[in-house]
Amino acid sequence: MKPIEPYKGVRDFYPEDQRIQNYIFDAMRRAVESYGYQEMNASVLESTELYTSKTSEEIIAEQTYTFTDRGERSVTLRPEMTPTVARMVATKKRELGYPLRWYSIQNFFRYERPQRGRLREFWQLNADLFGITGPLADAEIIAVACRVMRELGAMPDDFVIKIGSRDALNSELLAQNIPQEKHKAIASLIDKKSKMKDDEYTRAMQDLIGENEFVIRESVDVIEVRTILESWGIENTVFDADVVRGFDYYTGIVFEVFDTNPENKRSMFGGGRYDNLIGSYGSQDVPAVGFAMGDVIAKDFLETHSILPSLAVSQTLYLAPLTDKDMLPAALTADRIRENGVHVSLGMKNAKIADHIKTAVKLGVSFFAVYGEQEFSSNTLTIKNLATGEEVVTTVDEIGSVVHKKN
């Protein structure tokens, strides 16, 4: 019988895959928590009405998992986090303290054709700063995005932060007498520019604005943000009029982080200011700025730049009983070793030492020791480092110092 496969377009995370996820998530966590962002979450199930006319219409209409539950409610598996955090801020607007800094590392769902970097379930860091308008808040969010890259091991010239402004775009369009109801469609078209052929883009733009023309110059908000970032030592930023982002809810600066690797030049992730979304869920606006970064692009970046370290199961000892009758004494010793803060995986089988070692290697465990009568009577173990082959003899109570316990 053929084993049942995972659902199409989603991933299984075996421990070696999960270790990579955790490595990425830990870097994200360190970055955002150092700026005082606090973790929050909600359910992946949301009422469909949460997204109606908020997120990009294309995403809602064609790319969400939406179904009717047994109680006739329309439910959507969240395709992004922003509507959820906006709803939650709107609900407790008065009780919350501002500046409010929230983050989450959670999963999202889009019903797309699976392709490289675009899966039906993906994980994302979301970080948002609420209650503050102006360039200092904008600069902090970009600095946090930059810190995530640094915690992942990127150097400043491995990436560039391109900053645009919805505000500047809208002002210029108004100055050119291009009517407001076309602004969303124009932004959406500019967002797709890099994926279109030049003449195709020009034609589509002409359909929208006719004989009008517009040129967007670096606006005051972008200049201020870039100046603050520079004072913090963040110099890998540029103004880019073509950065507008796909979501309809952005109102001010928008930014995208680009890989500078010549073979992999592309937008990795981004964010921006959205000052009207929370008001649309409640009675009053709360200014907000945030960004989101996906796990797939992060892993891809680490691999492309060869900065993903090999991740063994550290702090862990595989303890192999020599014979069946050593099993219970080995289990008792394992408990004593755990008291010293070392993780112990007990090799619960009667096997040759070579087979035990093979198992420990398959498990990705860092340290190995045999337990027999000699170890029992001497109260010592010979700890083998499976990466280096190095062996150290230690007493049971001093194993912690050999296994380089982290905490």
Enumerate residues 205-264 that contact a copy of itself by CB under 8 A.
Answer: 228, 231-232
* For a copy of itself, the closer CB: 30 or 193: 30
Q: How far is Cα 168 from Cα 253, in angstroms, rounded to an integer?
A: 9
E strand spans, 183-265: 237-239, 253-259
Contact 189, 204 (CB under 8 A): yes
Closest contact distance (angstroms) between CB of 373 and a copy of itself is 18
60 binds a copy of itself (CB under 8 A): no
User: According to CB under 8 A, which one of 71, 179, 262, 309 is a site residue for a copy of itself?
Assistant: 71
From the list 54, 52, 38, 47, the residue with the least C-alpha distance to 278 is: 54
Q: How far is Cα 35 from Cα 140, in angstroms, rounded to an integer?
A: 9
> How is residue 14 written in tokens?
């075996």
Closest contact distance (angstroms) between CB of 252 and a copy of itself is 15
Contact 287, 125 (CB under 8 A): no
* For a copy of itself, the closer CB: 16 or 200: 16
3-state secondary structure of 376: helix
Q: How far is Cα 141 from Cα 107, in angstroms, rounded to an integer?
A: 21
> How is residue 301 written in tokens?
């970046």
Strand-pair category, 45-47 with 74-77: antiparallel
Closest contact distance (angstroms) between CB of 83 and a copy of itself is 9
366 binds a copy of itself (CB under 8 A): no
* For a copy of itself, the closer CB: 107 or 323: 107
Give burial (CB, 10 Å; 0-12/13-18/19+) of 113.
Answer: exposed
88 binds a copy of itself (CB under 8 A): yes
User: According to CB under 8 A, which one of 20, 55, 120, 292 is a site residue for a copy of itself?
Assistant: 120
Closest contact distance (angstroms) between CB of 352 and a copy of itself is 14
Q: How far is Cα 395 from Cα 380, in angstroms, rounded to an integer?
A: 4
User: According to CB under 8 A, which one of 5, 198, 211, 263 is a site residue for a copy of itself?
Assistant: 5
Closest contact distance (angstroms) between CB of 218 and a copy of itself is 21
Query: Which whole-number Å values give the CA distances from 400 to 33, 143, 346, 403, in the listed order?
Result: 29, 38, 17, 5
Using the contact rule CB under 8 A, the part of the chain among 190-198, 203-211, 343-351, 393-401 near a copy of itself is: 343-351
72 binds a copy of itself (CB under 8 A): no
196 binds a copy of itself (CB under 8 A): no
Closest contact distance (angstroms) between CB of 246 and a copy of itself is 21
Name every residue whose Cβ is closer than 8 Å to that of residue 112 and which is 6 or more positions away in sequence: 9, 63, 118, 120
User: According to CB under 8 A, which one of 73, 118, 203, 325 is a site residue for a copy of itself?
Assistant: 73
44 binds a copy of itself (CB under 8 A): yes
* For a copy of itself, the closer CB: 184 or 338: 338
* For a copy of itself, the closer CB: 40 or 208: 40
* For a copy of itself, the closer CB: 49 or 390: 49
Applying CB under 8 A, the site for a copy of itself has a residue count of 94
Closest contact distance (angstroms) between CB of 334 and a copy of itself is 8
328 binds a copy of itself (CB under 8 A): yes
40 binds a copy of itself (CB under 8 A): yes
Closest contact distance (angstroms) between CB of 347 and a copy of itself is 7
User: According to CB under 8 A, which one of 121, 224, 275, 285 is a site residue for a copy of itself?
Assistant: 121
CB atoms within 10 A of CB 72: 6
Residue type, 8: K
DSSP string, 188-206: HHHHHGGGS-HHHHHHHHH
Question: In the 8-state DSSP scheme, what is residue 52?
Answer: T
User: According to CB under 8 A, which one of 61, 69, 197, 306 is a site residue for a copy of itself?
Assistant: 69
